[in-house]
Chain A
């Protein structure tokens, strides 16, 4: 079966750093994506990892370990506007042509002043 796990909720303080974890057990692996979704809005693309290691993009970084089936999204210098849900999605092997993704249930992050 396909399974992607993320914490349901997290809370952090403005200006701090937060790490959102994602673990996956899937039949093959061909890339992992992170999306941000504000309430009632569309998910917006944050990052894509297909090889092990850290990808940095401004305040956001994403890490992947394929051997451990593990990824995290790191948000630095948190701002109030970072309050949102963060979705982890995996593209399984064999889906590279279809682009099909399997999504976790999302992590709702609340940033407090």
Chain B
């Protein structure tokens, strides 16, 4: 089946540790996106990539980093510089006009 996978679904980390969230898609989509969702707020764009080996900062990129070495994969690293990392993280890929989302990873930093 084609789709977007994110793992793990729940992730716990200690403050001060970097953590990498995975996002994989087998839909052959060029563009991929990372969003953060906090309670009562809309999705906010962290980073996006339109093609392999290229990515751009979104609206809230500080404290995050990404890579796009393969078309299928767009991992997000939450660094210790991110002041408030506890959130629900959503990855998406785009076909023509529409973005399709993965199941999300809920990150809790203790």
State whether the Cβ of A75 lies closer than 8 Å to any Cβ in chain B: no
Q: Which residues of A contact B94 (CB under 8 A)?
A: 99
Contact A33 B98 (CB under 8 A): yes
Q: How far is the CB of B44 from chain A (nearest CB, A)?
A: 8
Contact A98 B56 (CB under 8 A): yes
Q: Which residues of B contact A48 (CB under 8 A)?
A: 97-98
Given known contacts A98-B31, A98-B48, A31 and B97 CB-to-CB distance under 8 angstroms: yes
Contact B97 A103 (CB under 8 A): no
Q: How far is the CB of A3 from chain B (nearest CB, A)?
A: 11
Contact B90 A103 (CB under 8 A): no
A45→B43 CA distance, assembly (Å): 14
State whether the Cβ of A100 lies closer than 8 Å to any Cβ in chain B: yes
- Select from chain A the residue with minimum beta-carbon distance to B31: A99
Contact B98 A41 (CB under 8 A): no
The bracket for how many chain B residues form the interface is 20 to 34
Contact A104 B42 (CB under 8 A): yes
A44→B33 CA distance, assembly (Å): 15
Question: From residue 73 to 110 of chain B, which have CB atoms closer than 8 A to chain A?
Answer: 88, 90, 94, 97-104, 106
Question: From residue 41 to 87 of chain B, which have CB atoms closer than 8 A to chain A?
Answer: 41-45, 48, 50, 56, 58
Contact B101 A87 (CB under 8 A): no
Beyond the given A48-B98, A99-B97, please list 7 additional residue pairs across the A-B interface where CB-CB is below 8 A. A41-B103, A41-B104, A87-B43, A97-B50, A98-B31, A99-B33, A104-B42
Chain B residues at the A interface, C-beta cutoff of 8 Å: 31, 33, 35, 40-45, 48, 50, 56, 58, 88, 90, 94, 97-104, 106
